[in-house]
Each structure stands twice: as structure tokens, then as C-alpha cells.
Structure 1
């Protein structure tokens, strides 16, 4: 068994100050250390945690994600379609529930057999974390070398590896909605490309623009490619969590996260995390055409969801239903001047540009130039 405080302190010496994750009893000591001694963001699911850590890493923070091995199934989308293609380095700790010979719950049995294989299949370097401190610190330095090469590294943690750490008293924070404006007139239903033009017009040298996967990112790229933009490929539903990580790492920058109805429904819990942390430099815009446009226009269930009410209930300072491009322009300007966590919901027309191309720049090149932009 290793002394968790000493191990955690060595993590901090290597620059790992930003932690996020989902609780697990095997990782309880390290999670408690992170809450007590570091910046820790509680995620609602493991995929969200990976995306938050990715955003913080893009923003320049060496990031750690913690999860139970069952959570690898939830995290597999951002691990394979965000971490891998964008070459984002995160340090991970995943517990080994369901290990051979361990009297554990039946739902962990299969994942206990395939955890290592699962990580290997996702091209993630990993090792079992040693229960001897000297060896564990050597492993930590090895992991750090991979992080420095823009490669993720995970530790698989067996039961009893980490010594107990008492959780200090936590401060309960409450964030409340101050402005909620619901639908009050007829919708204009603009084309997505026209909404993107309005958004791009507000993207100055202090503003990052993140576009959700599918035709949103492709249209943004075709409209105008720029170093302050990132086009999500895959990782559906993860753009607001990626935005949160960047916002927390780079509080001096404004971040606009452009979401879609299919995507936001996939990871709706991210609104709760964003609302709780309430970064004032985040503007979350939902462009809702009530379809999965990239896959042929299949209907979503967004017509039945009151997104403004949900964002308000989750603690977004402003949650506003937007009826037109002129309103969109005005509310973006209001956010730029007043800086409060804001959610805007605009219904748009079905369809997209004909003969729509794809970004010719590779995802990791998009990330690298965005990092240059952030550091200018």
C-alpha cells in the first residue's frame, strides 16, 4: 500500500494540479486528496470527465481523470474520438473492480477481465500502479514522460493500493439562474450557416469557438477557417464539457460552445456540471434543427424538451430562447459585455450547405494551433 498524500504531492510536483472524475471506492483516497489539495471538478459521468480534462489540457493544465473501470465504457467515445485524434495528453487512474479472485459485485465481473485489454485497444499506454512507493513514483515519472509527448497514460489501480485519506469538509456552492426568457413569438428558423456567420462575427482575438461534431463544424470550417476554432470530430455531446475545461484553464479567454440538439441530448448532464461551476467566460449556444442532420435527417426528440428551463434549473446565469438572428447577435453582444454563464437556444432550419466539404486540417493540427492562439 502506498501513502496517498505523498504520491499525490509528487503528482503536484510534476505539475498535475487539475483533477476531474467520478467516485470509486478503490480510488477514494486519491479523489479525496485531489478535493483537499488540488482543483477538482466532479463530473456526472466518465465521458464528461475525460472531455473536461481534455479541455483543461488544451488550455495548458496537466490534467488527471479518475474513474471506475466500468466507466471506461462511458468514456470510450471521447477517449477514441477526442483524445486519440487530437493527441491530447491526460493522466488517468482507473480502478480494477471485478479482478480475478476478488469477491465483487456481479456487474464488475466482465469489466474486471477486460480492463487492460480495453485500454490497449484504445491505444492508451497503461500499467498496474505498484503498491510500493518507490516503484510507484518511478511509474509516475514514466507516465509524465508520455504526457510530455502528447500521449495519454493510465494507471490501473487494484483494491488496497492507496492508503486511506480523510476527506476534509467540503463547501457547498449554489448557483442560481438570474435571467430566464422563454419562447414569446414566432421563430425565424434561419439556416445554420447564417447563425454561424453571426457567431463568427463576434469571435475576436480573445474568443475561442468550439463546434460540435457533424455538419456544424464542417459548415463553420467552410464559412471561414481560423486558428481560434476547433471542430469536434466524434465525441458527440462533449463540446460543452470540453469548453468547461478550457474556460477553467484560461479564465482570461472567452469560449463559445456551439451545440446541436442530438448532441446535447446525448450528454444532457453536462449542463448540471457547467451550471454548478458557472464559468462566466462560457457562452453555450444550441442550434436546434430537431434532426440528426449528418446521418440523413432522422428526427430527434428535441421538440419535446424545454432546454431553456433545463439550463436555468442547472444554474446557468442566463438562459434565453432566441427567435431570430438579430436576437442572437444581441444576446452574444450582451454576454461579451457582461460576462455571465449564458445558454442560448435557437431553432434553425433543416438541412445544410450542398456539397459540404470537410476540414482538410488534421484534428491534432487544429488543437496545436488553438494552443498557439491561447498563448498569444
Structure 2
């Protein structure tokens, strides 16, 4: 079918924010997205789902594009982020390795199990018709599923889209302006102490996103607030989620609180974040060199220079933090100056034995935060007028 007409039909229904990882079967739809809509190229498919999820919370109607081999990479966020938080994304997944069609050997097994995998994840799906009239009705059905809070994926066969020529893309560079490495001894505060400092710096235009495990649980104990999100599952996805929320809510300060195990798991997200460079996002790494939530097993963070990595990825500022006073100072300065910023603070391992879990359900946390974001935008606009 005509790719441009199909894409514009999606746009009529509000789907004009794309996140994807390339596939030859989807290249024409991806080209359309780049040419005529907002498009973020993710490092991997799981990151793409997380970015789209953050964007949806910020009011976008996102579309995720991926090859079915990458569907395996996206399993974690689809089952442990989108499912418990009830975040419905619209997806297009190619059907490489379709039984009966000649393809590369690496696609054979995934081709056989693609639809079974979607069924197992309780993701509604449909083979996309190459006939536009039928596809238009399918879009209408998919939109109803999305509106009811359920994700929906189209499985796309080879040759479904007519050629769409990719327009010349402007290439630009995000340049680091401040790189400050370690220059003193570490205070090694507890995670709870660091979280208290971070929490005290928030205001009515701040959303705080806490990574999987004890970080979210401790933030909940410090203060359960409507502008907090406590990530569960989907380890490593908090920074990508923050990117999606940042670009969809530029009037808000997005504070992403990460851990070393989490960041190491999906460190490619830093390259994507650095390139798209949201000025309203600060990415804070609380690094205890351990998987604290699972028994204290060591990570390899002691062997990684996160400051240089963030700097080389294009974060505007990349700063090593030695103590809580520096953390407080940097957070307050950032609220005035903005710019994509990475802070690295070494903390002590271990935590209190009796640590509660949020009593509020993940989807209630999501809905509460969405209400906060929308209400505050309305109020701030009213105040300015």
C-alpha cells in the first residue's frame, strides 16, 4: 500500500511519534516517520518500548517499530513495564522468517514463534493488510484497543509498503560542555541519604523517576508523592523512559534516578539520550558497585568511567559528585541552568532490613503521575496568561 497515505491515516488518529530500530521490511514506514513525523532511533528494541512508554505518559500517542528478532529484546519492558503499569503502545513488528518464505537462518525460529510470543505476552495483534481500505479499518480497531489501555501490535509481511524515499537527514552533534571527574575522596552516603537530598530539591514542575529495586522502594518510604514513579521490573529501562517523558513534556524537570546494575544493563541508552539531548532531563547515577536488591552481588561499575561515557555520548554536563553537599549544589544549579546533565555519586552498599514496598499499584502510580503532569501544565499556562 502507499506508505505516505497509510502514515497520514495514523497521524489523523494522533499517532505521530515513532520510536524504532530498523528492519528492511519496515524501512519504508520508518522512512516516512523520519520524513514527516517525530522519530527517535533507539539503540535496541527494549529501549524503544521504554522511550515510547515515557512519551505516552507525557501525552504522545507513540508507535514502536521493530524487527521480530528484536521482539525478544523487548520482552522485558512489555511484560514488566507495560503490563503492570498498563501502558498501551502501538507496535509494528516485521515477520522475518515467515514459514514458507525463504529467509536468513537466524530468522527461522523467531518466524515460527512471533505470534505465539505476542499471545504469551497478552499483546493483541493482527496481520497488517496490504490493502489500504482494510488496513484503515485495522487502524481503527487498534486505536480502540489502545484507548482501552491495551497494547496492540501489527505483524507486517514483506512487501506490505510501497517505496518511500528517505529524505536527506541532517546530521548534528551533541557536544559536552563540562566534564568533571573525581578529584577528592568519596563520602559514600547511603542511598537513602542521597534520595533525601534529591527529593528535597523537587518542586511542582518536577517528575522523579526511580529505577527498579530498592531505589524506588526507598523513595516511596521517604515520600510517596504524585510526581514520583517507582519502576518495577524492566531493569535498565528507566533512563529511556525518562527520555520519552522529557521530549514529550519539555516544560517539566525530569529527574532520572538510576543504579549501576540498571545502567550497565542497557548502557546503549546513554548514546540515544545524549544525541536527542533533552534539556530538561538530569540523569543521576547512585553507584554502590552492587546488585543490592538481589543479595549484594558485585557489578563491574568500579571498572567503568561513567563520566567520560556520558561526556562522549553528548550529555551537556557530566559531573562526578563526592558528597551530599555537592549533590544538593548541583541539583539546585541545574534547576536554574538546565541542559542534559549526568551526575555520578558513589554510595555505600547495603540497606535497612525492613524495607516496605509501595502499597499503591504500578498502574495507579502511572495514572497519578499523568494527572500531575497534565494538571500542572494547565495551571502553569493559566498563570502565564
TM-score interval, smaller chain: over 0.9
Instruction: Give the distance between the partners of 2:372 and 2:344, measured in 1 at CA.
Output: 28
Other-structure match for 2:379: none
Instruction: Give the distance between the partners of 2:131 and 2:9, measured in 1 at CA.
Output: 14
Other-structure match for 2:181: 182
Counterparts of 1:1-376 in structure 2 under 5 Å? 2-376=1-375
Instruction: Give the distance between the partners of 1:352 and 1:136, measured in 2 at CA.
Output: 53
Cα drift, residue 151 of structure 1:
1.1
Deviations 1:135-171 (A, max 9, x none): 1100000000011111110000000111111101111
Cα drift, residue 354 of structure 1:
2.3
Cα drift, residue 102 of structure 1:
1.4
Cα drift, residue 93 of structure 1:
0.1
Aligned residues: 375
RMSD: 0.5
Deviations 1:269-324 (A, max 9, x none): 00000000110100000000000000000000000000000000000000000000
Cα drift, residue 334 of structure 1:
1.2
Cα drift, residue 87 of structure 1:
0.5
SS of 1:349's equivalent?
Answer: coil
> 5+ unaligned residues in a row in structure 1: which ranges?
none
Cα drift, residue 353 of structure 1:
2.1
Deviations 1:221-267 (A, max 9, x none): 01110000000001111001000000010100000000000000000
Deviations 1:195-237 (A, max 9, x none): 0000001111100000000000000001110000000001111
SS of 2:18's equivalent?
Answer: strand
Instruction: Give the distance between the partners of 2:174 and 2:352, measured in 1 at CA.
Output: 39
Instruction: Give the distance between the partners of 1:306 and 1:102, measured in 2 at CA.
Output: 46
Instruction: Give the distance between the partners of 1:35 and 1:82, measured in 2 at CA.
Output: 26
Instruction: Give the distance between the partners of 1:203 and 1:61, measured in 2 at CA.
Output: 24
Instruction: Give the distance between the partners of 1:330 and 1:64, measured in 2 at CA.
Output: 39
Instruction: Give the distance between the partners of 2:274 and 2:265, measured in 1 at CA.
Output: 17
Q: Given the two structures, how large is their TM-score scaled by the length of structure 2?
A: 0.97
SS of 1:195's equivalent?
Answer: helix
Point out 4+ residue stretches in structure 1 off by more than 6 angstroms: none
Q: Is the 8 A contact 1:322 1:345 kept in 2?
A: yes
Cα drift, residue 17 of structure 1:
1.0
Deviations 1:57-83 (A, max 9, x none): 000100000000000110000000111
Deviations 1:98-125 (A, max 9, x none): 0012111100000000000000100100
Instruction: Give the distance between the partners of 1:164 and 1:144, measured in 2 at CA.
Output: 25
> 5+ unaligned residues in a row in structure 2: which ranges?
376-385
SS of 2:146's equivalent?
Answer: helix
SS of 1:370's equivalent?
Answer: helix
Instruction: Give the distance between the partners of 2:313 and 2:10, measured in 1 at CA.
Output: 33
SS of 2:158's equivalent?
Answer: coil
Other-structure match for 2:378: none
Q: Given the two structures, how large is their TM-score scaled by the length of structure 1?
A: 0.99
Instruction: Give the distance between the partners of 2:324 and 2:242, measured in 1 at CA.
Output: 23
Instruction: Give the distance between the partners of 1:202 and 1:374, measured in 2 at CA.
Output: 18
